[in-house]
Amino acid sequence: MWTLPKIWSRQLARPLMTGIQLMTGIRHPASDTSPTYDEGGVKLHQVEGSLLQNPRTEYRSVRKYQGKVKAVILDWAGTVLDCGVYSPAVVFVDVFENEGVPITMEEARGPMGAHKKVHIRKITYIDSVRLRWKEKFGRYPDESDVERMFANFVPMQLACLSSYTKMIPGAVDTVKYLQKVMGLKIGSTTGFTTEMVDILKEAAQEEGYCPDSSVAADEVPQARPFPYMVWLNAIRLDVNPVEAIVKVDDTVDGIREGTSAGCWAVGLAETVGSTDIIVFIKWEVVLLRCRAIMWH
């Protein structure tokens, strides 16, 4: 049985002793308030306080990853293809138009990045849309309206999605560089459902874009801004820790998805309505950022 060095004070060592006492069955006399004995005759009772914790210290140790980047996870529409994210926006406008409550393109784009059902729900939260809805129906939109509009949205989106699959200039070359030169794995997340992503993957493959992993919004309990799609990508790519992943997106929810997952996040700005040259410059920035993170 080992003993504590004499230079230690009993007060300082007491949190450590708490953990030792729990393992050995030995108890401090002052804590014997409701004695119970085990089969070997050792007195047992509940011990107050945390194990191996010194409340007197002003610091705590934090584990921090400082290795290289291992994977990059990319958004689809607005990041690698469909510059301007027109495919869902035009359908959202049509869906609300069919309900008799027109919305603007700005209102349609507002919640971009979320699961498409969540996107529709968030549009119904916009004050101007709610007022128009009440003027039309005498009440505010509810969840039954969201469900109905999403059911109408899906076939409309599937019907036109293939018309909005042009790759953004610079995206394919950048991804190939990340894969072949930097040796990184490529994953993807999106607000689209699996059926919609299948259309995007087929069209993107024809232009040379082939991510190693792809996760759709309906494959996880909750999509963006929650981290589950990033984590599922990490599992499928067999990449850890999550701090070794860079998430790239052009939406606020997509960036939040990355930060909530615990990885790096790089935002693509000004892609909506921008020229090919500006988008190419943005991809050059992403490439430089990934290099800086990898070789920091």
Catalogue the active-site residues.
75, 116
Separation CA 84–CA 166 (nearest Å) = 11
Instruction: Give dist(CA 205, CA 220) in Å, integer.
Output: 24
Pick from 248, 205, 218: which is nearest to 71 by CA?
A: 248
The answer to whether residues 256 and 224 touch, using CB atoms and an 8 Å cutoff, is: yes
Q: Output phi, psi for 185, to 5 deg.
A: -85, 150
71-74 and 245-249: which strand pairing?
parallel
SS (H, E, C) the chain: CCCCCCCCCHHHHHHHHHHHHHHHCCCCHHHCCCCEECCCCCEECCCCCCCCCCCCCCCCCCCCCCCCCCEEEECCECCCECCCCHHHHHHHHHHHHHCCCCCCHHHHHCCCCCCHHHHHHHHHHCHHHHHHHHHHHCCCCCHHHHHHHHHHHHHHHHHHHHHHCCECCCHHHHHHHHHHCCCCEEEECCCCCHHHHHHHHHHHHHCCCCCCCCCCHHHCCCCCCCCHHHHHHHHHHCCCCHHHEEEEECCHHHHHHHHHHCCEEEECCCCCCCCHHHHHHHHHHHHHHHHHHHCC
